[in-house]
């Protein structure tokens, strides 16, 4: 462990032989920014705030404490604690998300995404809203050219005004300030970003430029990382980047407390943070509502469809009735 900690501040060198690899540390001086303790298979590291710089925090953190560490053994980043750190002062706040027409934020996704005409999306949106759904989102795997996205945003703005939120996927255009401004001018208040695809820095910069734009963080790709990074650690990095609402994994009755504690911790850092719960059914909703109340976004899609994949509006109505 000592050589691993020295790697952070001083670096190591490597020599490869036919049958083994040798790691030679570059120094054995005292550590300047870190204190560490290893016990019972757990490594705890305290890092002084002076070690970090705003302009490259995310890049430095991920390079050292995730990807580089993986070269040194079977390590998993379990927990990040910034309660006593000045890092938390850089979290970009957001105002509470108003709930249009109802007591809860209820959402669904436009699907099948590449095979729905704009007219079909309009009809789907209207019936969804008639049933009580007030968050209408494009899929994390759906990408479209700018002109089509602007046309859809304009059209949806006329349909959902004061009745629902329309959430486009801006992952591919996160660095295009002019385009983002056009979307916000059309009334888009929430935009989704696949943050493991874009990285955290562009999200941080986006939030700086558009502080009133709420960022919906989708964790697509987390399955490839969850062996090495916990949801708690990923969530801390997400809200540090400026994400306002986040897919944290939908709990069932058996693991509600773990999710509740995570949300509680995230709200202590960002008061208006909202967890997103997907794939829900009436059975799961009955467990979620008493715990998270109206401070979450509840999503459903699969439950709404029959065995042929078509929307069963009776099931939509039944799901929405859970919130009355």
Q: Rounded distance, CA 193 to CA 109, Å?
A: 15
Question: 136 - beta bridge partners?
Answer: 108, 166
> Residue 59's Cα: distance from chain center in Å?
18
Q: In a 10 Å sphere around its CB, with 0-12 CB exposed, 13-18 middle and 19+ buried, how is residue 36 labelled?
A: middle
Closest residue by Cα to residue 189 from 215, 158, 217: 215
> Residue 114's Cα: distance from chain center in Å?
24
pTM of the model: 0.95
Cβ-proximal residues to 18 (8 Å cutoff; 6+ apart), any chain: none
Cβ-proximal residues to 168 (8 Å cutoff; 6+ apart), any chain: 138, 149, 152, 153, 183, 188, 191, 192
* Coil/strand/helix, residue 267: helix
Q: Rounded distance, CA 177 to CA 69, Å?
A: 35
Phi then psi for residue 129, to 5 deg, are -65, -35
Q: Rounded distance, CA 284 to CA 221, Å?
A: 24
Angle CA(17)–CA(22)–CA(23) in degrees, nearest 5?
A: 150
- Tell me the C-alpha to C-alpha distance, in Å, between residue 291 and each of 95, 261, 273: 22, 11, 15
Q: Do residues 240 and 200 make contact, with C-beta atoms less than 8 angstroms apart?
A: yes
Q: Rounded distance, CA 287 to CA 210, Å?
A: 36
Q: What domains can be seen in the chain, in order of their start residue?
A: 2-84 (no CATH), 105-321 (3.20.20.110)
* pLDDT tens-place values along the chain, 324 residues long: 788 888 899 998 999 999 999 888 887 678 999 999 999 989 999 999 999 999 999 999 999 999 999 888 889 999 999 999 999 999 999 999 999 988 999 999 999 999 999 999 999 999 999 999 999 999 999 999 999 999 999 999 999 988 999 999 999 999 999 999 999 999 999 999 999 999 999 999 999 999 999 999 999 999 999 999 999 999 999 999 999 999 999 999 889 999 999 999 999 999 999 999 999 999 999 999 999 999 999 999 999 999 999 999 999 999 999 999
Q: In a 10 Å sphere around its CB, with 0-12 CB exposed, 13-18 middle and 19+ buried, how is residue 304 labelled?
A: buried
């Amino acid at each position: 462990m000592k050589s691993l900690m020295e790697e952070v501040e001083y670096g190591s060198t490597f020599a490869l032989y036919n049958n083994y690899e040798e790691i030679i540390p570059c120094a054995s001086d005292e550590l300047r920014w870190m204190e560490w303790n290893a016990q019972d298979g757990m490594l705890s590291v305290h890092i002084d705030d002076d070690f970090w710089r705003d302009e490259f925090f995310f890049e430095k953190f991920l390079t050292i404490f995730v990807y580089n560490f993986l070269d040194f053994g079977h390590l998993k980043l379990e927990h990040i604690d910034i309660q006593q750190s000045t890092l938390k002062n850089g979290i970009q706040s957001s105002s509470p998300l108003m709930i249009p027409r109802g007591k809860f934020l209820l959402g669904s996704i436009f699907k099948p995404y590449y095979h729905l005409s704009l007219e079909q999306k309009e009809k789907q949106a209207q019936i969804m809203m008639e049933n009580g759904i007030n968050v209408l989102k494009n899929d994390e795997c759906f990408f479209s050219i700018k002109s089509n996205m602007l046309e859809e945003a304009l059209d949806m703005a006329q349909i959902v005004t004061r009745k629902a939120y329309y959430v486009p996927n801006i992952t591919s255009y996160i660095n295009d300030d002019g385009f983002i401004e056009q979307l916000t001018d059309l009334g888009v208040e929430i935009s989704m970003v696949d943050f493991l695809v874009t990285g955290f820095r562009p999200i941080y910069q986006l939030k700086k430029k558009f502080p009133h734009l709420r960022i919906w963080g989708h964790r697509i790709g987390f399955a490839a990382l969850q062996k090495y990074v916990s949801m708690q650690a990923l969530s801390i990095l997400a809200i540090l980047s400026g994400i306002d609402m986040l897919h944290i994994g939908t709990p069932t009755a058996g693991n509600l407390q773990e999710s509740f504690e995570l949300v509680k911790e995230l709200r202590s850092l960002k008061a208006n943070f909202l967890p997103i719960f997907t794939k829900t059914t009436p059975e799961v909703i009955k467990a979620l509502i008493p715990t998270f109340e109206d401070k979450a976004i509840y999503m459903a899609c699969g439950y709404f469809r029959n065995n042929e994949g078509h929307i069963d509006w009776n099931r939509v109505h039944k799901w929405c009735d859970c919130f009355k």
